[in-house]
Amino acid sequence: MPARSGRPLLKIIIILTVLLVLGAAAYGFFIAPKMALPGYLNKLSKAKTTTIAASISNNAKNYRFTLKLNGKDDLTTTDKPKIDLDVTGQISSNAGSSSILSNSASGSLSAHLIMAEQKLYFKIESFSYLTQLLSIKLPNDWYKYDIASSDTGKCATKTKDSGSFLGGQLLTKVPVKNARLAGIETVNGALSMHYVGTIDNSKIKAAIDAANKNLSAACKIDITENDYKDFTASYDLWRGWSKDRLKLAVTYTKDKSTTEITLDTGAYNKPEKIDAPADAKDVSELLKDIFGYSVSSASDITRKNDLATLTAAVENSAADNNGTYPASATEVSKLSFTATDPTTKKPYSIIATKPTAVGQIQYLRSASCNAATNLAVAASNSRTVALVTLLGDGKTYYCMDNQ
């Protein structure tokens, strides 16, 4: 009899083991698949550092392109994220295409991108299609763009006033349907659980609305049902202990184009060093380095044209008033002249004194231009007028008169 005393306990252990196995199986087959994609994106958004290998391919009516990105990110400081990516790409026209690519069989792209210190640094190492088309040579320099004050910069980082897309609920609560466990496979040398599923279009709006609750007005996601009603997206996800892979296939039924995205991530939360390039030039110098033509030069051409337009308006006013020119800057400011300064993006201020900032235009009657100083000087003829503005460098004056 004593020998039988352990059997009830053994039965209980066996029953509990069976229940645990069945529970684990039920979780693996029914619950885990639905949580796999949101769980992966949540892991990705919360990881301090990650290695990234991504490929994007698109096949549309007129062209095909493939883009590959390899690098790492460091989100340790959420308001100053760092990213380091090598970018390569290939683009070509499809047979019978009427696009701009028709005259070129293909073109390749190679570049290096770094985001650090709230600035985007980039170096275009090659862009064969562009260099062949325009017969130009790309500079071997780094350029930088300050994204801190832009809407993109504010919305890509997490601040007191705005949530972050990187950690937002849109990433971690992507709605899925038909999710299931497809098997256990080896991917990138690691044993992984393979899940498949489809993005649930009918619940995208609810996910966007939930994400927008945590975003400031300037950062809210402005997408309507019409924007995604014509696409379907299915995914394959491999979850491993230290490496993961996401493959997304998107089909646009309206134009029958397809896009495939593959993302390999790993080395989570391991120390990474990402430094900003030294001696990077401002992005405004890129056009000058390529074409010998700067953005500031283009803006100054606009200013000179605007001054000519205002001079013509003054002449028309005189013609309508028996040859009498406007007596003051105030009268000129009432003329039909609506141009805006290319830098300030605001209407020009018409003043009576020498300009001290871009966006100002001086108007003087009985005046002409001094060729040496490009400023207005007094003249005895009341039918002579001069207008002066300040060019983009904030130092150089430009004068125009009606002589």
Q: Which pLDDT does position 30 carry in this prediction? A: 42
Q: Which pLDDT does position 26 carry in this prediction? A: 41
Could you say which of 265, 291, 317 is where a domain stops?
291
Within a domain: 6: no
Question: 256 and 313: one domain?
Answer: no
Indicate the pairing of strand 360-365 with strand 385-390. Answer: antiparallel
Q: What total of structural domains would you count in the chain?
A: 2
Question: 265 and 344: one domain?
Answer: no
Lowest average pLDDT, out of 75-79, 159-163, 185-189, 332-336, goes to 159-163
Question: 303 and 286: one domain?
Answer: no
Q: Which pLDDT does position 94 carry in this prediction? A: 65
Q: Which pLDDT does position 286 carry in this prediction? A: 83
Give me the mean pLDDT over the 112-127 stretch: 91
Within a domain: 92: yes
Within a domain: 2: no
Q: Which pLDDT does position 8 carry in this prediction? A: 66
Q: Are 107 and 128 spatial neighbours (Cβ–Cβ below 8 Å)?
A: yes
What are the backbone angles phi and psi of residue 111, rounded to the nearest 5°? -150, 165
Question: 276 and 320: one domain?
Answer: no
Stated pTM of the model: 0.65
Q: How far apart are CA 11 and CA 8, in angstroms?
A: 5
Question: 41 and 131: one domain?
Answer: yes
Question: 69 and 141: one domain?
Answer: yes
Q: Which pLDDT does position 257 carry in this prediction? A: 83
Q: How far apart are CA 267 and CA 40, in angstroms?
A: 14
Question: 313 and 215: one domain?
Answer: no
Domain span holding position 153? 20-291
Question: 133 and 171: one domain?
Answer: yes
Within a domain: 230: yes
Q: Which pLDDT does position 14 carry in this prediction? A: 58
Within a domain: 153: yes
Q: Which pLDDT does position 50 carry in this prediction? A: 94
Using one digit for the tens of pLDDT, what is the confidence trace for 197-243? 998 888 888 877 877 777 777 677 777 777 777 888 999 999 988 89
User: What mean pLDDT is reported for the chain?
Assistant: 81
Q: What is the DSSP letter of 326?
A: P
Could you say which of 291, 317, 343 is where a domain stops?
291
Question: 147 and 224: one domain?
Answer: yes
pLDDT band at 155 (very low <50, low <70, confident <90, very high): low
Could you say which of 234, 269, 291 is where a domain stops?
291
Partners of 180 in beta bridges: 196
Question: 92 and 110: one domain?
Answer: yes
Within a domain: 10: no
pLDDT > 90 fraction of the chain, expressed in percent and rounded = 39
Q: How far apart are CA 258 and CA 63, in angstroms?
A: 11
Question: 252 and 148: one domain?
Answer: yes
Within a domain: 275: yes
pLDDT band at 34 (very low <50, low <70, confident <90, very high): confident
Distances from the Cα of 328 to the Cαs of 362, 389, 399, in angstroms?
10, 16, 17
pLDDT band at 157 (very low <50, low <70, confident <90, very high): low
Within a domain: 9: no
Tell me how crowded residue 327 is: count the other CB atoms within 10 A of its CB: 12
Question: 110 and 227: one domain?
Answer: yes
Give me the mean pLDDT over the 139-148 stretch: 88
